[in-house]
Structure formats: C-alpha cells, structure tokens
Amino acid sequence: MPTHVYFDLDGTLTDPFEGITKCILYALDKLGFARPSDEFLYSCIGPPLYDTFPALVGDELTLEAIDLYRERFDEIGWLENEPYDGIHDALATVADSGCVLYVATSKPRIAADRIVEHFEMGQYFEKVFGCELDGTRANKVDLLAYAIEENPVASSRIMIGDRKHDLIGAIANGIRPLGVSYGYGSVEELTGAGATGIADSPSELPELIDL
C-alpha cells in the first residue's frame, strides 16, 4: 500500500499573494470598507474566506464579500499566482517514489483544479480536494476526513502545509503533519501547531517525507 501525501495549495505549491490580496481589496472597495493593514492582508493567505471576511466586513456581509472576491478571482485573480521555484521537481521526485499525491486546499475545488492544471502540476496528483462553493469542507479537519473516506487504503498519510490550519487538520485525522517555512506561516506557528518537520524550500520536501 502506498503512502498518501496531501499538499496544501496556497503558500505550499504556489505563491498566491497578489491574487488573493487584490481580490480581498476589490471586495472591500465595492462594499465601501477601508484597506486593512499589510500585516492583516499577509495573514489572509491560508485560512478560508469564511474565516477571513467576518473580521473585515462583519458576519452579515461576509457572503456578499465572498461573492465579490470570486467575481475578480474567477476573471483574473487565479492567474495572479506563481509556483514556487523547485516545486515541480519536488513533486516529480515524491511521485516517482511511489507515493500517491493529492491537493488538499480550503479553496473551492473548481478553482484549485484550474490552478493546478494551468501551472502544469496536474500530472503529479491523483485528485484535488477543495471546499464546495457554499463553504462545505472549507475547514481542513473536515476536508481531510473526507479525503480519507474517499481513499481509505494507505500505508501512511502525510499532510504538508504552510499554516497551522493544515497541521491542525492533519493531527485531527491521524495524519503526519509537516510544515513549509517558505509560505505564509512562521516556524513558530508551524511548530506550535505540531509540525513534526519543516522544509525551508521545495527542494527539501522529498527528504522531509523520508524518501
């Protein structure tokens, strides 16, 4: 039985900062809200939009803000993304080792599929797991539980991500939690969330997985 390796998308496979922040600012501008601090925008990379927007616009306007965010994201925001240097080689090495690779992201599955294929990473992944447009399974605990239900047979499982949400979801589902420090979570955040190992660059991922 192979090892199943789940990769987060934003901050782990690609750098989405430009697209995500511009889409957040687009939604805020449409709703008449001021620009948040750069520090807050930085913190928005990783968590689900359903967790991000209440702090910016309140609960009542969150769904409208998400619709506006997606309005720009679907047109151009998804293209304002950049794969991290060395990530293709790392994925090829992990896939060639016999592991089965998956994407597990809080992004809507439709958007994540499009990004993975556009940036020529689809060949490495068995399936992309993401939330539904209504927010179902946006939480990594729920998402990874669903992924295991869909693919129950594995010798072991690993989750790789750059934020605490990835690791919390992994631990809750009995998955080995690994972090990457080149994304948007600090080493302190990752270790505090229970990471058993941290890669400082994509090139370190195969060794971190113990291939």
Q: How many CA atoms lie within 13 A of 52 on its CB side?
A: 26
- Whether 85 contacts 205, CB under 8 Å: no
Nearest to 178 by CA among 188, 170, 135: 170
8 is catalytic: yes
Catalytic residue among 8, 10, 162, 166: 8
Q: How far apart are CA 188 and CA 145, in angstroms?
A: 26
- Whether 199 contacts 181, CB under 8 Å: yes
Nearest to 113 by CA among 99, 129, 98, 101: 129
Q: How far apart are CA 155 and CA 175, in angstroms?
A: 11
Retrieve residue 73's tokens. Answer: 């994201």
3-state secondary structure of 51: helix
Q: So which residues are the catalytic ones?
A: 8
